[in-house]
Amino acid sequence: MKKILIAIAVICSITALAACGGTGGEKPSASPSVAESVQPSAPQSVAPSSAPSVEETVAPSVPESVEPTVEPTVEPTAEPTVEPTQEDLFAQSTFSNRTIRYNGTAQKLEVKNLPENATVTYAENENSSAENLMAYTEEGAICPGVYGITATVTIGEESREYKAVLTLNKAKLTISANKAEKDLYDPNPAFTFTVTGLLEGHELDLTAGTWTEGVFAGEFIVSCSAEQYSDIGSYDIVAEGLTSPYYDITYRKAALSIKKYTTDLVPGGVKPTAGGQMLYNGAYVDVMGVNYFDMFYECIDDNGNVVEANVQRTYAGLAELASYNVKCIRFFPMRYYKWQQKGWFENREVFIYTWHRIINKAASYNIGLIPSVLFNNEIMNNVEGGYDWRTVTEQLQNGIIPPSVQLAFDYTEIFVEEFEDHPAIWMWEFSNETNLVMDVNNYGYYYDSSVAFREAWAELVYNLDDYKRAIGSGDSVLRNYQYNMAMIKSWTTDTKEEHEYMLKLLNGGKLSAISSHCYISSEYERVKEEYKKDPFAIEDDLKASYMGDKVLYNQALAKVPQSSEEDWYTTEYFGTDTIKELMCLLVEEAAKFGKTCYIGETGFSYADHRLYTEEELDLFLVNFAKAKRESKMPITLFWNYDYKAQPIAGQYNDRGTGIEYSWNASWTKGRKYLECIKAYNDATEAKA
């Protein structure tokens, strides 16, 4: 650009000189005026006073190409090579501190930028604080700690020491308690924990209480602010105690929730009606259930201690019954014999807490309960000399409660007050079959004393229970000679009037539910009738039936008329033969006295000492269910469920190993009973 501008300037100078009419070498003598010097012949354009642009006036001559000037290349002068000194080589090596968290592998420090021909060795120095741990080795440090390390670097024959610190922090381990819950008054569950951060190769099993030796030490301690009988609420689960050279252990607590049962049952139980029926929550009662004698009985030992394994067994039994839609259970809330009741007087709280546990569990399965409070007629007979019923009678009739009876009343009062508001309690029951004890005069248990005792007991319960639940006697169906045996010690059959007199006598006062225990027989009753006619004809066959010989029994059976499908015989009861006739009469009698009724025990009779076929069981249960429905019997309860029972091969009536002719769902008899109950109760619910 500079050269172009110079050229333009030269051209402009030449042009200027030409315009002035001179040459480059002349100078004019004078400057004429414009008029004199120029006489234009025609108008001309006047150029503006400003100088024209280069582009408009002169097109400079530009060479076609201009070669740039190339400067000569000057090679730099090479610096002379300087070999590093020994000092420089040592200076380039670096040895720095390092902090890392233990991860199960060896960790070490290394000199960086080590010269090519240098060698290095490492050793712990006085700055190490990893006491009682594995020392730093050539492989490094495996245990957490602070390691002061000296690295000795050797170059040639000269060595230098470098110092640094390796900090190997412990790994982080968290032991977290897991949430837990339990039912009220159950033992605390086995608490579980979640471990996070455990490294490969290390074991820590907190459930088994085992761990890798040397990695963990101490005692794993678990505590909870809740005890077995703590109230409903939330309680901390806390763990502590383990230490480790490898881990920083953090413990995290969790909550144990003690919860109350949930149930669809409502407080107040069943109410008697004057027409032989029962009402529950405003609806007529129509259910099947079972006797479960062992539901509480074996949960407490003779000294009043809880047998936890048996409680858990009862829980399993209740779960099984619930799976068959069992709606009602009759049970005994005490130890049976006098000598087994020691724990009640020495460890009463355990009894009460265990009552709650079992009754709450039944409620959680929506099963109503009939506690037979004084199931054994000699319950609480813990005074010197036992019961003197003649004296008891006089005292009770004069408003005096004898010591022996007072013990039973005290226990009754505690039980009723404890469970008056509990929705699982459907009704109260006095005892078990005391009418069968009275009519043969066992234990000096006379009618007048029995009547006085049961009426005083029913009065106590009635006054304690604001809901006025039904109160049952617990009696068996009355024998046909109940009146005559009581009054004149005769086996003469009662008249209908005598029978009704006894029924009214034994269910007087506040007893509002007439109990009957009715076991159903079929062929055996017909065999007995035939035997009365001709005892010698079938005597041997009849005896054979007691041996459980099906073949010989059938030979005896062939000698009597065949019953129809509906002729399932019952205990002889004032003209009734079939199940339906019996149930209808029981409901009719209860209504006559303005009370309700229920069948507290029933089943395929164990008086038929032989094995039944499945077809016979099916036939009985179909007709039994039909009779119950058509007679409007409110409650029927089969005897006797026992979760622990096992079948006995060849035993009469499929009797199991449990308490008195027991059964459960694990063999034919019990399963068919339970299937019948489920079908019946399902149908009742569908109809509601």
Tell me what pLDDT residue 3 has: 38
Smallest CA-to-CA distance from 432 within 637, 656, 125 is with 637
Per-domain residue ranges for the chain? 86-169, 171-259, 284-522+570-687, 523-562
d(CA 284, CA 281): 8
Cα 542–545–548 angle (5° rounding)?
165
Tell me what pLDDT residue 391 has: 63
Residue 361 neighbours by CB under 8 Å, 6+ apart = 183, 261, 314, 315, 318
Contact status, residue 508 vs residue 458, Cβ threshold 8 Å:
no
Q: In what order do the strands lie in the sheet with 278-280?
A: 270-272, 278-280, 283-284
Residue 170 neighbours by CB under 8 Å, 6+ apart = 101, 102, 144, 244, 245, 246, 247, 248
Contact status, residue 673 vs residue 268, Cβ threshold 8 Å:
no
- For residue 121, the 8-state DSSP code is E
d(CA 423, CA 382): 32
Tell me what pLDDT residue 480 has: 85
Residue given tokens 């017909």 in the structure block: 526
| 363 Ramachandran zone, left/alpha/beta (phi>0; psi -120 to 50) | alpha
pTM: 0.76
Residue 196 neighbours by CB under 8 Å, 6+ apart = 173, 174, 176
H-assigned helices in 20-102:
34-37, 54-57, 86-92
Q: What is the dihedral of CA 31, 34, 40, 44, to 10 degrees?
A: 110
What is the full DSSP assignment across 258-305?
A: EE----S--TT-EEE-TTB-EEETTEE--EEEEE-THHHHTTB-TTS-
d(CA 416, CA 429): 11
Tell me what pLDDT residue 398 has: 76
Q: Which CATH number among 3.40.50.300, 3.20.20.80, 3.20.20.70, 3.40.190.10 corresponds to the domain 284-522+570-687?
A: 3.20.20.80
- Where b means 16+ CB within 10 Å and e means fewer, 535-571 reads eeebeebbebbeeebeebbeebbeebeeeeeebbbbb
d(CA 635, CA 620): 18
Alpha-carbon separation of residue 193 from 49, 182, 617 (angstroms): 105, 17, 51
d(CA 373, CA 369): 11
86-169 belongs to which homologous superfamily?
A: Immunoglobulins (2.60.40.10)
| CATH architecture of the domain with range 171-259 | Sandwich (2.60)
Residue given tokens 């712990």 in the structure block: 124
How many C-beta atoms lie closer than 10 Å to residue 461's C-beta?
23
Tell me what pLDDT residue 35 has: 35
The first and second tokens of residue 586, run together, are 């029981």
Contact status, residue 128 vs residue 146, Cβ threshold 8 Å:
yes
Tell me what pLDDT residue 548 has: 47
Side chain identity, residue 194: T
Evaluate whether 86-169 and 171-259 have a shared fold.
yes
- In the chain, which stretches have pLDDT less than 70? 1-80, 130-133, 377-393, 439-446, 521-572, 605-612, 650-654
What spatial distance separates the first Cα and last Cα of the chain, rounded to whole Å?
114
Cα 137–143–144 angle (5° rounding)?
125
